[in-house]
Structure 1
Amino acid sequence: MKKIPVTVLSGYLGSGKTTLLNHLLNSDHGFKVAVVVNDMSEVNIDAELIKEGGFTRTDEKLVEMSNGCICCTLREDLLIEIDKLSRIEGIDYILIESSGISEPVPVAQTFTYYDPDLNIDLSERTKLDTMVTVVDANRFWSDYNSGQSLVDRQQGISEQDEREIADLLIDQIEFCNVLILNKCDLLEKNEIEMIERVLRILQPSAKIIKTEHGKVNPEEILNTGLFDFEQASRSAGWIKELELGADQHTPETDEYGISSFVYNRRLPFHSMRFHRWMTERLPYNVVRAKGFAWCATRNSFALLVEQAGSSISIQPLSYWVAALPEEQQRRIFRDNPNVLDSWDPEYGDRNTRLVFIGLDLDREEIEKELDECLLTYEEMNEDWNRLPDPFHWTISYQY
C-alpha cells in the first residue's frame, strides 16, 4: 500500500501559518490534499480564513479541530481524523496546520506508534514527510524576550499551562526540517540576516527559506522526503555542540557576533552559587543555554539546565550511573561500554556540560564566573548535604 505523505505546519500564533496554507491550497502542486486545521479559539477562525481563501472551490477535504491542541488534548482526535482521511479514495496528501501553541514533537510522535485502544497505527497508511516551522521575523525578538507565559497572554490551554513563550518558540525551531522565516518585508536586510544566523545556530540542520506573505514554492515543503524522526530529534544546535566536543569545536563567530561554546567541567557546582548565577547573573545576550549540570547538594542526579530568553529551568533528569547500585552499573557497562571511556575513579560519570549560544558572548568571562560557582577545595572536603540548597523539587521515583 502506498503511504500518504503528511506535512505539518508549526509556528507561534501570528507567524503566518494560515497565509502559507492558503498559498499552498491555491498553488498548482498536483496533489489532491486533505487538510486538518487545529485552532484554540471557540470559533475556528483559521478554518474560516482557509474557506475564504478559495478552499471550497476544490475537491479537497477540511477537518476542523477546535477547543484544544493537537500536541496534548487532541492527540486522540488527530489519530482518528488522520486515519479517516487516509482511507478516502483519491486523497494523496495530508496537510496539518497545528495550533500556534502546539509543540511539534508530540505531533510527530502521533505518526510513529500503534494505539491499542483505538486500534489505529498511522504508520501503516501515512508517512510524516516534512515538519515545517514558520517564524515571524518581525516579532521574533519581541516575543522571545517578552518574559511572558502563554497564560499571561491568555493563550494557554488552561490556567495551569505554565509554558513560557520563549520555550515554545525554541521547541518549534529545534524540531523541524524546514524553517520559514516569514514577513521579511517588514525588516531591513541586516536584521533579517542576523535572525537567520541565530536560527541557523539554533537549528543547524533545517532548510531555511526567507519569504514574504507565506509565498513558498510548494516543492520546498510538500513531498520532500526530508523527515526522519531520529535525525530530527538530534538536530538542535545545542545537541550538535555537545556531540562535537570541546576539542573539535570551531567557534561560529561571524560579522553578526553570533557564537556558541561548550562549558565542560568535572567538578560539582555549589548549588546556591550556580542557581543564583543562572537566575540573576546570566548575561542578557545569551540566546540559548542547555545541557547537564552536576550540583553538590543533588549529587545523585544529572540536572537538566534549560534557558530560552528569560525562561530558566533546572530540573532532575536522571541518576548518574555512579549513583546506581553496583549490579545496575554492571548491566549498563555491559550494554554501553563507552560510559567507561570518561569514568572518574572517585566520581564516575558525574560532570557538567553546558552549551551557550548568543550574541557577542564573552566566553572567558562566562567561564570565569561559572568556575567561581564550583566547589572550592575546602568545600569539596565538607559534607555536601550541609551546603545551602536552592532547589524546591523532591524526587518521587526510585532506582
Structure 2
Amino acid sequence: MDRKIPVTVLSGYLGAGKTTLLNHLLGNKQNLKIGVLVNDMSEINIDAHLLEQGGLKRTDEKLIQLENGCICCTLREDLILEIDKLADLDLDYIIVESTGISEPIPVAQSFTYQEEVLGIDLSAKCRLDTMITVVDAGRFWHDYQSGESLLDRQQQAVEDDEREIADLLLDQIEFADVILLNKTDLLEEQALEQLFSLLQTLNPEADIHQTEYGKIDPSLVLDTKKFSFDKASQSAGWVKELNNEHIPETEEYGIASFVYRKRRPFHPERWMKWLEEWPAEVVRAKGFFWLASRPDTSGLLSQAGQSLAIEAAGPWIAAYPPDEQASLRAEDEELEARWHPVYGDRMTELVFIGIGMPKEQLMKGLDDCVLTDEEMLQDSTVFSDPLPAFV
C-alpha cells in the first residue's frame, strides 16, 4: 500500500463528549470515507447505538464494535485486529473512539511496532495522526478532586481495576496532541479561563480548543500530522520542568510550577509527615526522590488530585558496581554532567504544579525534611522508615 491511512484517536473520561464529537465529525466529513472503531465498555453499547441513529448505516463508513472491555488492556489485541481489517478497506481515514477509562499510551503503542503474538504491523498500513483528549469543563474539578477510583464508581475494566480517576484524567491530558475543553457553556468565564490555563501548564505542547457540543472545524483534529510518539512522551508539563524547560506562570489565575532539587536525602519520618499534610494548592506533582533509609533505590512520587503514590523508579547508578558506573557515565553526557563526587546521581527532583501555591513555604517545608549535617554522617540503617514499601 503506497499511502498509509491516517488515524485519529479520541480519548476522554466517561461523559466528556467523545461520541458527540464523533457524530459532529461524521456529519462534516466532506466526502471522506471514514472507518470508525468504537470501543464501549457497557453491555448495551450505547455509543454504537447513537452512532447508528446518527446515520452511520447510511454512509460509506464501516462500524466495528468491541464489547466488554477497554482498549488499554483486555482488548488491545482486538483493537489491532479490527484496525488491521479496516485498513484493508478503501478508506480515507480511520477514527478510533476509545472507552472513557482507556489510557492513551497503550493505544498509541499499537501503531508503533509489530504486535508479536498476532504478527500484525499496523505501522505498515496506518499512520497515527492525532491523539485527541476531550475534557468535560463542567465536571473536571469534581472528578479530579473526588479521590475516587474506577472501582469506587463501578467503572472498572476488570474486576480488580483500582486506577484512580484523577490519574486517568491526567494520563489522557498529558499524552494528547489536541485537547478539546468541551461543555464550556457550563462554566463562568473566569473559571473557564483558569481551567484552560491549567491544561496549558499540564501539557504545554497540546493545541487546546474550547468547544460546545463537540463542534469543531474537522481540519483541527483530522489529518493534522501532529502525532509523534517521542514528542508526546515528553509533552507533560512536569517532564518539561525536569528538563529545565520552565513553563511560564499565568499569574492572573495563580497557576505556577517549580522544581525542588536537593543533593541530600529525605528523612523518612519527616518526609512521611509532610506527605500526610499534602498542600491543597498543589494540583500535580511528580518526580524522583532520595530517601535516606533506602540509599540504593530511587523513589518516584506521583500525585494527581487526592491520589498520591510512591514507588521504586529503579536503582541509583551510584549503587552499581564501580566498573558499571564508569561505563554508564562514559556513555551518557547528561549523567556525567550531574554526577556528584560523593553521592553520584542520587538527588531529589520534584515538580510541583498548582494554583496559588505558597512556594517559599513549600520549599522550607521540604528543606525541613532533608537530613541535617549530623544526620548525613549516620548509617542509613539507623533511620526509622514508616513509608510504604516500594513496589
Please say whether Structure 1 and Structure 2 have the same fold, judged by a TM-score greater than 0.5.
Answer: yes
The match for 2:273 among 262, 271, 276 is: 276
Match of 1:10 in 2: 11
Match of 2:211 in 1: 211
Letter of the structure 2 residue corresponding to residue 215 of structure 1: K
1:359-374 matches, within 5 Å, as 359-374=355-370
- Structure 1 distance, partners of 2:148, 2:304, is 12
Is 1:354–2:350 an aligned residue pair? yes
- Structure 2 distance, partners of 1:351, 1:75, is 38
Letter of the structure 1 residue corresponding to residue 141 of structure 2: W
- Structure 1 distance, partners of 2:31, 2:268, is 58
Letter of the structure 2 residue corresponding to residue 197 of structure 1: S
| More divergent stretch after superposition (50-59 vs 194-203) | 50-59
Give the 3-state SS of the residue equivalent to 2:298 in structure 1.
strand
Match of 2:57 in 1: 56
Contact 2:241/2:247 (CA < 8 Å) preserved in 1?
A: no
| More divergent stretch after superposition (128-137 vs 385-394) | 385-394
Match of 1:331 in 2: 327
Match of 2:132 in 1: 132
* Superposed CA offset, 1:215-253 (max 9, x none): 0111110000000110000000001111126xxx47514
1:227-238 matches, within 5 Å, as 227-238=227-238
What percentage of residue pairs aligned between the two structures are identical? 56
Pairwise CA distance, 1:299: 0.8
1:100-139 matches, within 5 Å, as 100-139=100-139
1:7-156 matches, within 5 Å, as 7-88=8-89, 90-156=90-156
Contact 2:197/2:250 (CA < 8 Å) preserved in 1?
A: no
Is 1:386–2:358 an aligned residue pair? no
Give the 3-state SS of the residue equivalent to 2:293 in structure 1.
helix
Q: CA RMSD in A?
A: 1.2
The match for 2:249 among 252, 272, 290 is: 252
Contact 1:33/1:61 (CA < 8 Å) preserved in 2?
A: yes
The match for 2:304 among 273, 297, 308 is: 308
- Structure 2 distance, partners of 1:144, 1:235, is 20
* Stretches of structure 1 lacking an aligned partner (at least 5 in a row): none
Going from structure 1 to structure 2, the CA distance change for 1:204 and 1:61 (only over 3 Å counts) comes to: same
- Structure 1 distance, partners of 2:116, 2:154, is 35
- Structure 2 distance, partners of 1:381, 1:173, is 44
The match for 2:261 among 264, 274, 281 is: 264
Give the 3-state SS of the residue equivalent to 2:7 in structure 1.
strand
- Structure 2 distance, partners of 1:338, 1:309, is 32
Contact 2:283/2:304 (CA < 8 Å) preserved in 1?
A: yes
Is 1:293–2:294 an aligned residue pair? no
- Structure 2 distance, partners of 1:40, 1:253, is 38
Contact 1:29/1:219 (CA < 8 Å) preserved in 2?
A: no
Give the 3-state SS of the residue equivalent to 1:260 in structure 2.
strand
Pairwise CA distance, 1:4: 0.3
- Structure 2 distance, partners of 1:333, 1:123, is 35
Pairwise CA distance, 1:277: 1.1
1:169-180 matches, within 5 Å, as 169-180=169-180
* Superposed CA offset, 1:319-353 (max 9, x none): 11111112221221221133121211111110011
Pairwise CA distance, 1:29: 3.2
* Stretches of structure 2 lacking an aligned partner (at least 5 in a row): none
Give the 3-state SS of the residue equivalent to 1:373 in structure 2.
coil
* Superposed CA offset, 1:73-108 (max 9, x none): 0110011001111011x2111000000000000000
Letter of the structure 2 residue corresponding to residue 134 of structure 1: V
Contact 2:133/2:176 (CA < 8 Å) preserved in 1?
A: yes
- Structure 2 distance, partners of 1:365, 1:320, is 29
TM-score (norm 2): 0.97
Pairwise CA distance, 1:270: 0.6
- Structure 1 distance, partners of 2:31, 2:234, is 32
- Structure 2 distance, partners of 1:305, 1:29, is 47
Letter of the structure 1 residue corresponding to residue 214 of structure 2: G
Match of 2:240 in 1: 240
Give the 3-state SS of the residue equivalent to 1:155 in structure 2.
coil
Going from structure 1 to structure 2, the CA distance change for 1:392 and 1:256 (only over 3 Å counts) comes to: closer
TM-score (norm 1): 0.95
- Structure 2 distance, partners of 1:308, 1:394, is 19
Letter of the structure 1 residue corresponding to residue 15 of structure 2: G
Pairwise CA distance, 1:394: 5.4
| More divergent stretch after superposition (330-339 vs 319-328) | 330-339
Match of 2:196 in 1: 196
Aligned residues: 390
